Amino acid sequence: MSPLPRLQKILSERGIASRRQAEELIREGRVTVNGRLARIGDKVDPLRDHLKVDGKLVASPAAKAYLMLNKPKRVVTTAEDPEGRAVVMDLVKSRLPRLFPVGRLDYDAEGILLLTNDGEMAHRLSHPSFQVPRTYWVKVQGKPTPEEVRRLSRGITLEDGPTAPCRIAPRREARENAWLEMTLREGRNRQVKRMWERMGYPVLKLRRVSFAGLSLGSLKAGEYRHLRPSEVEKLKKLTKERELRSFKERPAKGGT
């Protein structure tokens, strides 16, 4: 008999929230299993147990949906915003199961963003351990020297720890600023901006042009499309390879 899955995995598979968001729902006391308050780490039988979120029964998993959106500036990367600002879900008009964004883009940033109800896929694409590549075009105030670019690409220390090595290449320069292309394999909050601010070069514009090997192509700001089956398979293959690599790199228990 296969082991029972954890509650947060079931909630993500059924399109309620990502794994991380599901844990927050559980901590807030908004999830029940067979009438009792759920706890982090609870294991459930998806065929027999009755799961509710905010008192509403959690339905069987919806068909998986995967979208690519070209996020414009001044749009929040959430499903709802307490400040009443426009959110990415306002841009998706088709009749689809509940979706949530994969990772984040800053309010004033633009570019490629994936949306899905596949919680497992969203978790793998977002979690730092999978090292999914993200490529940005960055306009900074001032002109970094080649040595400063090399230093930043090797990794610097921010308030939440050292950054992983990244690839940085010049795109073009103007009289008072410079455009650069950066490829990172981690997605911390405001990471690109914080890295350049630490070096003394404020970010003026930020655009994500590629995520997990997928690019926007001709998709205009505010537009979205469903991923092609080949693109979905590409994402699954990428995260599977990253998972196997991460597993092989783990230290063996009991080793010296």
Active site members: 106
Sign of the CA dihedral running 80, 196, 156, 113: positive
Helix axis angle, 119-126 relative to 229-249, nearest 10°? 60
Interatomic CA distance for residues 12 and 61, integer angstroms: 9
Which two three-digit tokens encode residue 110? 């633009």
Interatomic CA distance for residues 225 and 128, integer angstroms: 26
Sign of the CA dihedral running 11, 234, 112, 176: positive
> What's the CA angle centered on 158, arms 176 and 204, to 5 degrees?
25
Q: What values do phi and psi take at 220, rounded to 5?
A: -85, 165
Query: Are 110 and 203 contacting, i.e. CB atoms less than 8 angstroms apart?
Result: no
Q: Which residue type occupies 158? A: L
Longest Cα pair distance anywhere in the chain, in angstroms?
Answer: 67
Interatomic CA distance for residues 84 and 78, integer angstroms: 12
